[in-house]
Chains A and B, each alone.
Chain A
């Protein structure tokens, strides 16, 4: 993807992919918003709101797998696919995210 393509999207560069260790998540600030970006071991990227809707838990500190992200405070699990909770709790927001030449681009 060329630089001009990036410019035509609504994406925002939040940081470098190397900022996020394999399998973990890190929080980035976009304007006045915090976005947690996750880099899974299967190579996929995911981005969510940073604080959980249940108790304000730091989602970037959670553990994840190919299906869900688990909040570290009370172990609520949220699906990457649509942000819904597996236990019926309030959903989280998910954002499209991609890598462009080593940079993380999030559509916020």
Chain B
């Protein structure tokens, strides 16, 4: 066995260093001893230090292996030659000494004297404790086979388990002289070992005692597909058979030469890897008189039957379950650290919902919960594509995801894990759990995205930047967005950012309470916030902060959303505060990159007149507007206008604002409809004008763009609008909601087909009000509609399932009544001193090149 010099030296020094500490009697800290320096034991120590436990405890940790703490999960990539063993070190010896921890690496603990509270180790040392934690993990189980062991009980030469770094080193070394390997065990570890050895050019045969591969995680069908994928790699698979004998012990070299299977077949090999499962390490516990069944029995605080002895990780048995995964071990560590340090003396562990995601033998596999339905009412959805090596299934109980198996295609794993862990609502079309039905380009799974691929195009943030923020300590989606600015531009990448953060954090993500807030500065979801605003009669943004914000503190990034909400709630009775508005709303124009503004006069339904055009042309010339542009919303945009020119321009124009700058109702595009078009089925132009007249300027959580078309040819693109109306003949109109053709492209969902103009106006208004009252700040309808669910929206708006339709109609009417044209208003007299004063007086604007 070799160790890199640095680790060896540091390990050797430690025992000496510890004697320099205060004498046991003088150190007032409690003595905490951890037996086991693996992923559970070392994590526990980290969690304890994180909670300030270094002040409370003198910590000693025993490790059977001579190394620091390493990531056992990563042994497969090391064996495959994809990772270097240095890369899998989690805590070097330095880390232990830096944190004042007495690491006894390479020292095996023999027994615990629970009466005297002492740990007896193989080196003869006796260590007293106040609290003892067993984190002894598990070991490779070697099934009984004739000849597998030598007379001295050691494994025959050329036979290895696959559990430790030393075994991995021995296997790596063997690949250079061996040519034929047999791997016993078709579980996760066996498959990974087989794949890694085969990658080193060895001929590999896999022997599995069960009828299909990975039988603990997969059902028979998925196992069969996995077998096919593994065989395609060139690995021979023997299922449902045991090996009875290991050959080679009788030869002069005493080295393995093959195995005999139960049916008499002989497989020649010069390397035998046994990965037939693990068993909890319970020897120490048994010898120490602790209660042990399959593993060491612990209660909800990870305590054994001795009140000062705890067990965590794979050696612990909690409520009948023994886990062989790292996530539960880490959950144990957190709970026990809370208990021991007193951070939360009542912390309890209630079992883990296990989910695994891995690449096994080159195939992506993710499993969580159960893999087959267990009750009559369970929903079970399976998609199987043997040819592509894809098998996907989900089990749903009472509308909650209770199990999922993804083989060969794990693109949906982030969403499913979320749904599984947190009981998130499921799409009504269950198939959407497994495949994307959007007609757009194929979505690339976040795991497969290249590191440097750009996620947030607005702020130039790559997947790597996001992962870096996560590994740099950001523990929630919100923190990552603040750190990297990803998702802070147009916002269309937010869900992707969320997926990447979840993937990068691999389940280690704090639930972000702020994610449910309407605005970051007031810790309340929207319905609660609206109730509080009404209850306290808060009519201005500053009043909301004073009463509802922590310490009454205002928050710049919350002001715009609160202004919008207060306007919606109070209508006329809202108390305006200019500083709570974004600059666009302060001066009723859209700020441009050079600090100039754009002016878009209202042009209802995209219909204009020669007189209006003449006026616009004159104004554009008079104010030397650098660019005049026809917009996508069927209007005319005057770009590059100086702030100080705005009021005079509005005056000269004599037209109302088109609201092209607000988080508000923007515009209604129309086609020429039945007036001129020979295909038009109805008067779409007039309906568009009517809609715009009724709903002009209404503020909303995000902008609302509408369109009306006179026939399904969709010339004004009504299918991809927040509200789109399509004439279908006979006076009937289809109303679509939640469409988008911006940063996201989504065809709207058909809300209803209604008869007559008035019915369209009522339904559109009712939907927009429902959206205004229930959407999060900046949540567009294309996110809102799928989030709430079309069926629910239909029930609420069409069947009045919640009895709120009258309120919705009254709510939108209140906002309609409160409408005033801002240009008419502020052109007369500024709302505040210097409202239109230049913000960059020494810089000649516009800087936009004149075309």
List residues of chain A with CB under 8 Å of any chain B CB: 18-27, 29, 32-34, 36, 41, 50-51, 55-66, 68-70, 72-75, 77, 86-87
Contact = CB atoms under 8 A, between A and B. Distances in A.
Contact of A27 (B485, B560, B582, B839): B839
Given A21-B832, A21-B834, A62-B583, A68 B556 contact: yes
B839 A69 contact: no
Contact of B833 (A21, A27, A50): A21
B579 A24 contact: yes
Contact of A63 (B485, B559, B594): B559
B583 A19 contact: no
Contacts of A26: 834, 837, 839
Contacts of A32: 842
A50 B582 CA distance: 17
Contact of B577 (A23, A27, A33, A77): A23
8 contacts: A19-B833, A21-B834, A41-B542, A55-B593, A58-B839, A63-B580, A65-B559, A75-B488
Contact of A23 (B482, B578, B834): B578
Contact of A41 (B485, B554, B586): B554
B557 interface: yes
Given A18-B833, A21-B833, A22-B579, A69 B838 contact: no
Contacts of A36: 839
Contacts of A60: 839
B594 to A, nearest CB: 7
B591 A27 contact: no
Nearest to B840: A58
Nearest to B594: A56
Nearest to B521: A65
B7 interface: no
A75 B834 CA distance: 23
A12 B97 CA distance: 58
B553 interface: yes
A92 B792 CA distance: 49
B743 interface: no
B379 interface: no
B840 A34 contact: yes
Interface string B547-559: 0000001111101
Nearest to A61: B583
Interface centre among B594, B838, B840, B841 (most CB of A within 10 A): B840
A33 B594 CA distance: 18
A75 B583 CA distance: 12
Given A63-B579, A73-B591, A27 B482 contact: no
User: Interface size class for chain B?
Assistant: 35 or more
Which 10 residue pairs spanning A and B have beta carbons closest together? Answer: A23-B579, A58-B839, A21-B832, A61-B583, A60-B839, A58-B595, A65-B556, A65-B554, A63-B556, A70-B556
Given A24-B578, A63-B556, A72-B591, A51 B843 contact: yes
A77 B556 contact: yes
Given A21-B834, A62-B583, A57 B556 contact: no
Given A62-B583, A75-B557, A24 B842 contact: no
Interface in B798-851: 832-834, 837-843
B717 to A, nearest CB: 29
B556 A64 contact: yes
Given A24-B579, A63-B559, A65-B555, A29 B842 contact: yes
B834 A72 contact: no
Interface string B604-640: 0000000000000000000000000000000000000
B483 interface: yes
Contact of B556 (A58, A69, A73): A69
B35 to A, nearest CB: 44
Interface centre among A21, A27, A34, A51 (most CB of B within 10 A): A21
B583 A87 contact: no
A31 B72 CA distance: 67
Nearest to B559: A63
Nearest to B577: A23
Given A51-B843, A56-B840, 19 more contacts: A20-B833, A23-B542, A23-B579, A24-B579, A26-B834, A29-B842, A32-B842, A34-B842, A50-B840, A57-B595, A61-B839, A62-B556, A63-B556, A63-B557, A63-B580, A65-B553, A65-B555, A68-B556, A72-B591
A21 B830 CA distance: 12
Contact of B483 (A51, A70, A74, A87): A87
A55 B593 CA distance: 8
Contacts of B841: 27, 29, 34
Interface of B: 459, 482-483, 485, 488-489, 521, 542, 553-557, 559-560, 577-580, 582-583, 586, 591, 593-595, 832-834, 837-843
Nearest to A24: B579
Given A73-B593, A87-B483, A27 B583 contact: no
Contacts of A51: 840, 843
A59 B833 contact: no
B474 to A, nearest CB: 12
A78 B559 CA distance: 17
B482 A87 contact: yes
A73 B591 CA distance: 8
Contacts of A64: 556, 579
B547 to A, nearest CB: 14
Given A32-B842, A87-B485, A70 B579 contact: no
B832 to A, nearest CB: 4
B579 A21 contact: yes
A73 B596 CA distance: 11
Contacts of A50: 839-840
Given A23-B578, A34-B842, A73-B591, A66 B837 contact: no
Nearest to A41: B542
Contacts of A66: 553-554
Nearest to A87: B485
A60 to B, nearest CB: 4
A63 B832 contact: no
B288 to A, nearest CB: 53
A63 B586 CA distance: 11
Contacts of B560: 63
Interface centre among A25, A55, A65 (most CB of B within 10 A): A65
A69 to B, nearest CB: 7
B482 A56 contact: no
Contact of A61 (B542, B580, B591): B591
A64 B557 CA distance: 8
A7 to B, nearest CB: 27
Interface centre among B554, B559, B843 (most CB of A within 10 A): B554
A89 to B, nearest CB: 9
A59 B579 contact: no
Contacts of A34: 840-843
Contacts of B459: 74
Nearest to B592: A73
Nearest to A16: B833
A50 B586 CA distance: 18
A44 B557 CA distance: 19
Nearest to A26: B834
B520 to A, nearest CB: 11
Interface centre among B560, B577, B834 (most CB of A within 10 A): B834
A61 B834 contact: no
A59 B839 contact: yes
A78 to B, nearest CB: 10
Nearest to B597: A61
A87 B557 CA distance: 14
Interface centre among B489, B521, B583 (most CB of A within 10 A): B583
A18 B594 CA distance: 27
Contacts of A29: 841-842
Nearest to B488: A75
Nearest to B581: A63
